[in-house]
């Protein structure tokens, strides 16, 4: 049996380019022509490797989620919820992003505007965000069990509060707010954090 022609592009590299484009323009704001141009492949190659636009978006979000989860996992290994949550929120300010790189969160920006035709994509992103929220709440429960958070902490409400701030930072960052401005928002939010206070003079390093 004759072998098929080998792909002339790197799958992961092409997905990274799709991630960047979807992140900047959202799902609906990104056309197939945009994707073909950004990924440097032909339309038939795109269909053969990734399926249609919706399937490509799901694969891009899968890859983005894997990369983001590894980063957040490392942040949340910190025994101090105060340090970890501040570093986590700093991810959404753009303060640590390379020059010209998108900031915020692909899973929020990807569905900011979704017509009825994009309902499946919006629902998928909602499901992913709810799963991430529960994961955050579970980690808050771990900090509470370790005594870092007060025993009466409502971790579900606190987790939703953190997620709401993160989503707000995402929207603000894509609307032109400067990282320096958003870092102040994070610092103000952390003033109300119920976790243990840092030792005098200690500084929290942004991720």
Question: Are 191 and 85 in contact, with CB atoms under 8 Å apart?
Answer: no
Question: Are 137 and 159 in contact, with CB atoms under 8 Å apart?
Answer: yes
pLDDT higher than 70, residue 118: no
Question: Are 206 and 119 in contact, with CB atoms under 8 Å apart?
Answer: no
- DSSP structure class, residue 79: S
DSSP 108-137: HHTTSS--GGGHHHHHHHHHHHHHHHHHHH
Element (H, E) at 51: none
Element (H, E) at 23: helix 11-25
- DSSP structure class, residue 41: -
Q: How far apart are CA 131 and CA 142, in angstroms?
A: 17
Q: How far apart are CA 104 and CA 94, in angstroms?
A: 7
Token pair listed for 130: 């709810």
Kindly state the percentage of the chain with pLDDT values over 90: 55
* Domain regions of the chain by residue span: 11-190
Residue 100 pLDDT: 63
Q: How far apart are CA 175 and CA 177, in angstroms?
A: 6
pLDDT band of residue 2 (cuts 50, 70, 90) is very low
Question: Are 22 and 30 in contact, with CB atoms under 8 Å apart?
Answer: yes
- CATH for 11-190 is 1.10.357.10
Residue 197 pLDDT: 73
pLDDT higher than 50, residue 48: yes
pLDDT per residue over 124-143, tens digit each? 888 988 999 999 999 999 99
Distance of CA 113 to the CA centre of its chain: 17
Residue 38 pLDDT: 93
Q: How far apart are CA 170 and CA 162, in angstroms?
A: 12
Nearest CA-CA partner of 171 in 83, 99, 111:
111
């Amino acid at each position: 049996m004759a072998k098929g022609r080998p792909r002339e592009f790197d799958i992961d590299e092409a997905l990274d380019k799709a991630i960047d484009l979807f992140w900047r323009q959202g799902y609906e704001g990104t056309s197939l022509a945009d994707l073909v141009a950004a990924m440097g492949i032909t339309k038939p190659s795109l269909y053969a490797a990734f399926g249609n636009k919706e399937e490509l978006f799901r694969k891009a979000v899968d890859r983005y989620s894997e990369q983001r989860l590894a980063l957040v996992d490392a942040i949340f290994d910190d025994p101090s919820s105060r340090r970890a949550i501040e570093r986590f929120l700093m991810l959404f300010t753009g303060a640590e992003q390379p020059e010209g790189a998108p900031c915020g969160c692909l899973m929020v920006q990807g569905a900011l505007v979704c017509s009825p035709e994009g309902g499946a994509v919006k629902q998928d992103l909602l499901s992913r965000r709810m799963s991430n929220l529960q994961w955050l709440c579970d980690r808050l429960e771990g900090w509470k069990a370790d005594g870092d958070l007060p025993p009466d902490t409502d971790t579900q409400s606190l987790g939703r509060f953190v997620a709401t701030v993160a989503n707000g930072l995402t929207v603000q960052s894509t609307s032109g707010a400067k990282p320096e401005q958003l870092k102040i928002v994070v610092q103000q939010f952390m003033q109300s954090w119920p976790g243990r206070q840092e030792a005098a003079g200690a500084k929290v390093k942004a991720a």
